[in-house]
Amino acid sequence: MAVTEAPKGAAVDADLPNLSPDEIKRYSRHLIMPEIGMDGQRRIKAGSVLCIGAGGLGSPAAMYLAAAGIGRLGIVDFDVVDFSNLQRQLLHGTSSVGMSKNESSKRRINDLNPHVQVDTYETLLNSDNALDLFKDYDVILDGTDNFPTRYLVNDACVLTGKPNAYGSIFRFEGQASVFATKDGPCYRCLYPEPPPPGLVPSCAEGGVLGVLPGVIGVIQATESLKLIAGIGEPLIGRFMIYDALKMSFRTLKLRKDPECPVCGTHPTVTKLIDYDQFCGIRPEPDLSQVAGATVNDWEITPVELKKKLDAGETPLILDVREPNEYQINRIAGSTLIPLGELPRRYQELPRDREIIAQCKMGGRSAKAMDFLKTVGFTNVKNLKGGILEWIDKVDPSQPKY
Amino acid sequence: MPNTIHIPTPLRPFTDKKEAVDVTGGTVGELLVDLTTRYEGLKKHLYTDEGKLRNFVNVYLNDEDIRYLQREQTPVKPGDSLSIVPSVAGGVPPEPEAKADDISPKPKAKADGVDPWR
């Protein structure tokens, strides 16, 4: 089914599926609106959306699309429901913790609307399967959470000619757009290249407001429905930025870049590539396997730190997490300076004492250590595995997050 | 008269958590220089070592991409606002090592996990 050119008030297409009396009752609030009506509802029933991910964005999107009467809903996920998902991933409930997200999604959607065909794919989307998966759907709904998959979804959408209902969330802020329509821009027109890993702060300012993916996921579902029903003005060539704290929506103009490597006039990307490599992600060498490997002199394990403290040494333990993380758990006697504040507060630290930098898992504190070395500190180590490993190996009395 | 630069969430740790900063200058480039002078820590996130704007950082003057204006030479008027729009992968920020932890051991749904008001 063509999703962009369904004209308003077109003659009834004999190929569209009919609605049963049950369905007519169920969709009556759609049917009485002339913009949708019987024809529009039949188009929605003939339509299909593939949700990449059944998480924060995929949950509200899939549930509203199902309730609205989408004919077929595909879900690509390979994850298992965890307690920490329940704060925002409404497809899953307390009773589905430990269950596959696909199974849990299917259960919820079947209950919401048994007229919807749910097809789940228990797989990681990759360059080998994306084109095959996409070709049988009208709209692809990108609810992923990492750069390699974002670029993969975009390129596969351009190559298969499928529109991408895009959404992305971070803390209190969300973004949405429709990419890769015939004449509209794609994600690469906006961001030709991904940031190198580690440069965009993520770890230090983590978390997401539970209701935020609700807003953004529902925008993605709205755009999918509009494309399929052929109504309204889709979010093509526009980039929506939502700030939940300010409760503001801003819309920026997007243009199709004629130089775009995928959708431009002379594309250089004509098949799917290795997106991990493209995003600069390489498998980490397993140091323990390297012959003669010793513990680095810039790293200390929680057990070694405990020994040091027990022996009466007094290193300064520098916790570089955020204050709210510090409230959850901490190493007794540690000093809190969040990573972002370190550049202007490092003078508070003593230069004649050993410093052990520590965060949740060791990533941010490694950056802190690198920074301190650039400003002349010589006796700095990073706590391997962060507070989580400290709790696992030394102090199991504290909660983990 | 100062112009406002909207700071996106991922860069707010470098602006004392401010979501908007008032800056002065006659062009987009001058506003950005003023911003990174006030907040030194932002510099390496916006510019390469050679002093070029990084190409995954998009800058908008009002609602228009400066790549389609005169880039950093674009003149600004009083009341114009600048937005920095970095790419955001989304979801919960990745802490890859935690992935295994998140899933296993798989906590079972316990009776005390059920909403008592149900």
Q: What ipTM goes with this model?
A: 0.74
Chain region(s) in chain A for CATH 3.40.50.720: 21-278
CB contact under 8 A, A200 and B64: no
Minimum CA–CA partner of A89 in chain B: B91
| A21-278 homologous superfamily | NAD(P)-binding Rossmann-like Domain (3.40.50.720)
Is A279 an active-site residue?
A: no
Cα separation of A65 and A82, whole Å? 24
Within 8 A of B41 by CB-CB distance, chain A residues are 340, 343-344
> Which positions in chain A touch B103 (Cβ < 8 Å)?
79-80, 82
User: What pLDDT score was predicted for residue A282?
Assistant: 64
Mean pLDDT, rounded, of chain B:
78
| Half-sphere exposure in the Cβ direction for A331 (13 Å, CA) | 30
Partner residue facing B83 (CB), from A56, A168, A252: A252
pLDDT band at B76 (very low <50, low <70, confident <90, very high): very high
Q: Where are the domains of chain B?
A: 3-98
Tell me phi and psi for residue A58, to 5 degrees: -65, -30
CA distances from A206 to A52, A257, A360, B62 (A): 22, 32, 11, 28
Q: Is A186 a catalytic residue?
A: no
What local confidence, expressed as pLDDT, does residue A21 receive?
Answer: 97
Tell me the residues of chain B between 66 and 95 that have a Cβ less than 8 Å away from chain A: 68, 83, 85-95
Query: What is the DSSP code string of A194-244?
Result: PPPTTTS--GGG--B-TTHHHHHHHHHHHHHHHHHHT-S--SBTEEEEEET
Taking chain A (401 residues) in consecutive chunks of 10 residues, what is each chunk's mean pLDDT?
48 82 98 96 98 97 98 97 94 97 98 98 96 98 92 98 95 95 95 75 65 97 98 97 94 95 95 91 52 65 94 95 93 93 88 94 90 89 95 94 90
A312: which 2 tokens? Answer: 């009466």
Q: What is the CATH class of B3-98?
A: alpha beta
Cα–Cα dist A94/B113, whole Å: 7
Q: Do B12 and A205 touch (CB under 8 A)?
A: yes
Shortest CA gap B26–chain A (Å): 22
Portions of chain A given CATH number 3.40.250.10: 290-393
Instruction: Report the alpha-carbon distance of residue B95 to residue A206 in Å, rounded.
Output: 10
Cβ-based contacts of A360 with chain B (< 8 Å): 95
Amino acid at residue number A210 = G
The CATH code of domain A290-393 reads: 3.40.250.10
Whether B96 and chain A come into contact, CB under 8 Å, resolves to no
- Percentage of residues of chain B with pLDDT beyond 90: 49
Q: Using a CB-CB distance cutoff of 8 angstroms, which residues of chain B are in contact with residue A209?
A: none
